[in-house]
Amino acid sequence: MKPTDLSAEEFYAKRDNRTDTAGGVAGYQEARCRVTADPSALMTIEGQAMVLTVANLMSRWCRDIAMDIVDAPLLPSLARPGMTHLHARIQAEIQDADPFGRFVFGSDGSDERLTLGIARAPATISIDADGWRAHAGRGSEFMALPKDSNLTIGGIIAACFGVARIFKLACGIPDKAEMPWQLDAFTMTGSFGDSNRPSKIPTVDLGRVLLVGAGAVGSAICHFVPMLPVQADWLIVDHDQLKILNLNRSPLFGLSNVPDMKADICALLLREHGQRSAEAYPVDLGTFLNEHERKPNAWDLVLPEANEYGARLLLQSIAPPLMVHGTTGTRWDVTRSRHIPIEEACLACRYPNDGSQPSFVCSTGDIPVEGEVHRAALPFISPLAAVLALADVIKVAQSDIPLSPNAVYISLAEDDLFVARSRMRILRTCICRSQLDISRRYNAGSRFWKA
Name the residues that contact Zn ion, by CB under 5 A. Answer: 346, 348-349, 430, 432
CB of 72 or CB of 349, closer to Zn ion? 349
CB of 220 or CB of 346, closer to Zn ion? 346
CB of 278 or CB of 348, closer to Zn ion? 348
Minimal distance, residue 340 CB to Zn ion, in Å? 12
Q: For residue 8, what are the contacts with CB-CB under 8 A and spacing of at least 6? A: 100
The kind and range of the H/E element at 222 are helix 216-224
Q: How far apart are the first and last CA of the chain?
A: 54
CB of 209 or CB of 346, closer to Zn ion? 346
Minimal distance, residue 229 CB to Zn ion, in Å? 32
CB of 230 or CB of 315, closer to Zn ion? 315
Q: For residue 414, what are the contacts with CB-CB under 8 A and spacing of at least 6? A: none
Minimal distance, residue 302 CB to Zn ion, in Å? 14
Minimal distance, residue 365 CB to Zn ion, in Å? 24
Minimal distance, residue 120 CB to Zn ion, in Å? 48
A 10 A CB-CB count for 61 gives: 29
Specify the pairing of strand 181-184 against strand 133-138. antiparallel
CB 169 within 8 A of CB 33: no
Minimal distance, residue 427 CB to Zn ion, in Å? 6
Peptide bond into 341 cis (omega under 30): no
A 10 A CB-CB count for 386 gives: 32
Max CA distance (Å), the chain: 67
Minimal distance, residue 439 CB to Zn ion, in Å? 11
CB of 150 or CB of 357, closer to Zn ion? 357
A 10 A CB-CB count for 106 gives: 10
Q: How far is CA 411 from CA 103, 179, 328, 369, 439, in A?
A: 30, 15, 10, 12, 34
**Exposure letters 313-345 (e unless 16+ CB within 10 A, then b):** bbbbebbbbbbbbbbbbbbbbbbbbbbbbbebb
**Exposure letters 180-190 (e unless 16+ CB within 10 A, then b):** bbbbbbbbbbb
CA–CA separation, 223 and 253 (whole Å): 9
CB of 311 or CB of 378, closer to Zn ion? 311
Is the dihedral angle over the CA atoms 38, 132, 253, 6 positive or is it negative?
Answer: negative
CA–CA separation, 139 and 145 (whole Å): 15
- Tell me if residue 445 falls in helix, strand or coil: coil
Minimal distance, residue 433 CB to Zn ion, in Å? 7
CB of 275 or CB of 406, closer to Zn ion? 406
CB 409 within 8 A of CB 423: no
Minimal distance, residue 388 CB to Zn ion, in Å? 22
CB of 57 or CB of 432, closer to Zn ion? 432
CA–CA separation, 16 and 249 (whole Å): 10
Minimal distance, residue 432 CB to Zn ion, in Å? 3
CB of 159 or CB of 349, closer to Zn ion? 349
